[in-house]
Structure 1
Amino acid sequence: MRLSRIIMALTVGLAIVAVPTAAGAAQPQPPADSTPQPPPDYTPTPPALTIDLPTITIGETVVLTGTGFGLNETVDIDVTVAPLAAAVPGQAPARRSDGTTVAMTAVAFPQSQPAPRHFTAPTDGNGRFSKSYRPSDIGRLTFTATGRTSGRTASTNLTVLPKKKPHHGGLPVTGDSLGTPLKVGGGLVGAGVVLMLTAFGWRRRNRLGTTR
């Protein structure tokens, strides 16, 4: 009887000791070489493409700035041109006879070198770039930048307006429109003077003839 109690006590003791050991084994163990694990990857900043002036007059230059692209990669920039909307700031919209507006077509601005529709820009160590651009087209331009290595893309828009024509008020006056009437008037005055002198001389001659 005493032997049975001893065996039971030993069994219970072994069970109590085994429970913490099994619980410890179930916990995640650190690596055998105790090498620290790297922190989880951070979420990269989304790419963005901005422009310093959203609306310009043809002949002016803008600066494109890209951020959030790959580090030290080449970025391809494509340009598309669309007609301007009818309502342009500072200009009255063109209208049809039924009252509907007419969109303005894109017009090329003559210059020595037309602006490219595709060009590239290199990024720096922070994934940033800046690029100057002088449009040669009147219209709504869309710039789309795509990183060759990262594949990140972003876009922005630019409105290019035509140059405003000078407004003098009232009817336009030109040198030709004034010169022609002056010349005609001067000729008529001269002809009138000649006729008057001729008539005066003719009358005087007749009087002298009658007196004789």
Structure 2
Amino acid sequence: MRLSRILMALTVGLAIVAVPTAAGAAQPQPPATTSTPQPPPDYPPATPSLTANPTTITIGETVVLTGTGFGPNEIVDIDVTVAPLAAAVPGQAPARRSDGTTVAMVKVDYSQPQPAPRHFTAQTDANGNFTVSYRPSDIGRITFTATGRTSGRTASTTITVLPKRKPHLPVTGDNLGTPLKVGGVLVGVGVVLMLTAFGWRRRQRFGMTR
């Protein structure tokens, strides 16, 4: 009798222990994830820019163009357009005639024998940057427009090309006439004095002087 009670108590205890284990095994388990993690989104591309140094030069000098923000290791096409300057050279006073009137200083073309190209290319580095030199052969406002062949990014900049300055102001017709007139009078006076001296010496040689 006592043995049967012990066996019954063991059976009940085992049953109580087995119930939570079976309940936990019966609960649905979350499905295992098999998808690979996605990479973070790319940052927006940098804004392309094109700068020139210096922005004002004299014909015959060289300008350095620097481009940034283009595609890495791509070819960039650069187009050149020229707009003429005003007839008078900015910042230079006009020439003045002897009568007080003025005449404007008109620019003179100092173009190079070989004209500079209106289209050329540059190669960017791994960061999308490039540096190239350009020597203009035209006087005026020159605009450079750079466009990446692969990225399609574009940027532009403008410089001013001035003519070479002359060492002296141009001489007008009135200014040239006045020195010629003064020089003619001086030459005439010199001739008269020379003839007078020659006649006086001749008279002195023949004893005609008193």
Structure 1 and Structure 2 fold alike (TM over 0.5): yes
Q: 1: distance between equivalents of 2:154 and 2:93?
A: 36
Larger Rg over CA atoms: 2
Distance 1:37 1:185, change over 3 A: farther
Unaligned stretches of 5+ residues in structure 1 = 1-20, 94-101, 208-212
Secondary structure in 1 aligned to 2:131?
strand
Task: Give the structure 2 partner of residue 138 of structure 1.
Answer: 139
Contact 1:108 1:136 in 2 (8 A): no
Mapped pair 1:129 → 2:130 = yes
Tell me the alpha carbon deviations over residues 63-88 of structure 1, each in whole angstroms, 9 at most, x when there is no partner: 00001111111111111111225786
Q: What is the CA–CA distance in structure 1 between the aligned matches of 2:209 and 2:91, rounded to whole Å?
A: 73
- 1:198 alignment partner in structure 2: 202
Aligned 8 A contact 2:110 2:164 in 1 = no
2:157 is matched with 156
Gaps of 5+ in 2: 1-27, 95-103
Instruction: Find the counterpart in structure 1 of residue 121 from structure 2.
Output: 120
Cross-structure match for 1:15 = none
Alpha carbons of structure 1 residues 183 and 118: separation in structure 2 relative to 1, 3 Å: farther
CA contact (8 A) 2:72 2:128 kept: yes
Percentage identity across aligned positions?
A: 62
Report what 2:78 is aligned to: 77
1:67 aligns with 2:82: no
Give CA-to-partner distance per residue, 1:18-55, whole Å, 9 cap, x none.
xxx8xxx9xxx99x533110111210001100011111
In the alignment of these two chains, the number of paired residues is 166
State the partner residue of 2:98.
Answer: none
The superposition leaves residues 79-111 of structure 1 with CA deviations (integer Å, 9 ceiling, x where unpaired) of: 111122578653258xxxxxxxx9x88x65332
RMSD: 3.9
Q: Where in structure 2 are the equivalents of 1:86-97 lying within 5 Å?
A: 89-92=90-93
Distance 1:190 1:121 in 2: 75
Q: Decide whether the 8 Å contact of 2:109 with 2:163 is kept in 1.
A: no
* SS class of match (1:155): strand
Paired letter, 1:111? Q
**Which AA in structure 2 matches 1:74?**
I
TM-score, length of structure 2 as denominator length: 0.63
Q: Which amino acid aligns with 2:44?
A: T
Contact 2:52 2:65 in 1 (8 A): yes
Distance verdict in 2 for CA 1:91–1:205, change over 3 Å: closer
- Counterpart Cα distance in 2 of 1:111 and 1:185: 49
